[in-house]
Amino acid sequence: MHKHLEKIKKNEDQPKVIKNMFSKEEINKFINLYNELPITVHNKKQNVIKKRWLVEYGKDLEQLFYNKLKNEIGEFRYDNLKNDDGNDILGLFQESYNPIGLHIDGGFNLEDLIYKQTLIPLTPVGSTVIFKNRFYGQSTNFTIDKKELQKKDLKYGQNKRSSEHLGLYGNKPFDKDLHKKFINHEKIENLAGLEVELIYEWEVGSMLIFDRTNLHCSSSVIDGKKIGLTTFTKK
């Protein structure tokens, strides 16, 4: 459980989508940055490529991003991991061919005053599901998969695995129509008690902003692959 729980809750708000936040030229700069960055992880099992936005890359773009986000959420600090050299990582690009499961990005230091996270789509087809339900622990993948739950020897920056969300929000069965249309990659039993707050249909040039305490996942809507940039903030 996070130490500054009441302050975290005080900063919470509904997720919002800022349309036309980035021009076509600016989006192209993000895409160029993505192409320049070295691959951090190529998880062939999940079929996802992850690239960390290293601090020495795209400095002009970082200033642009910081100013635009500050206009929306006020003062903030990045909450990022460090690379092997101890330098800050400003965000995470993900090239996904399969949807990402139910999780929370609460960070790894429970003394941090976590704040907002953002998503910038760099490809047009995809969607992200934000749930009303919140969780106040560290970054966690929520699953009922027994093999996943047995994973304890996690590397630096990896989410822990847990099924502790089940029962926290009641046992109401998840909406079958929503499951079939948007989240059929998840077992419906893993979504018991959850309610959808927002389904963000990806639109290049827009940005999704939401609280880091919101449970969320990718939707199952993917056309070949999708690429997005995620950043995490704290106060």
- Tens digit of each residue's pLDDT (9 = 90 or more) over 101-146: 999 999 988 889 999 999 999 999 899 999 999 999 999 999 999 8
Q: Which residues contact 125 (CB under 8 A, 6 or more apart)?
A: 202, 221, 222, 223, 224, 226
- What number is the average pLDDT over the span 194-207? 97
Q: Say whether pLDDT at 22 is over 70.
A: yes
State residue 148's pLDDT score. 86
- What number is the average pLDDT over the span 10-27? 96
Count of C-beta atoms within a 10 Å radius of residue 172:
11
pLDDT band at 66 (very low <50, low <70, confident <90, very high): very high
Q: Say whether pLDDT at 229 is over 60.
A: yes
CATH class of 5-234: mainly beta
Q: Give the closest residue to 121 by CA, choosing from 103, 94, 81, 84.
A: 94
Domain map of the chain by residue range? 5-234
State residue 194's pLDDT score. 97
pLDDT band at 11 (very low <50, low <70, confident <90, very high): very high
- What number is the average pLDDT over the span 52-63? 89
pLDDT band at 42 (very low <50, low <70, confident <90, very high): low
State residue 150's pLDDT score. 86
pLDDT band at 84 (very low <50, low <70, confident <90, very high): low
pTM score above 0.85: yes
229, 69 Cβ separation under 8 angstroms: no
User: Which letter does DSSP use for residue 57 in this model?
Assistant: S
Q: Say whether pLDDT at 149 is over 90.
A: no
- 79-109 per-residue burial string, b: 16 or more CB within 10 A, e: under 16: bbeeeeeeeebbbbbbbbeebbbbbbbbbee
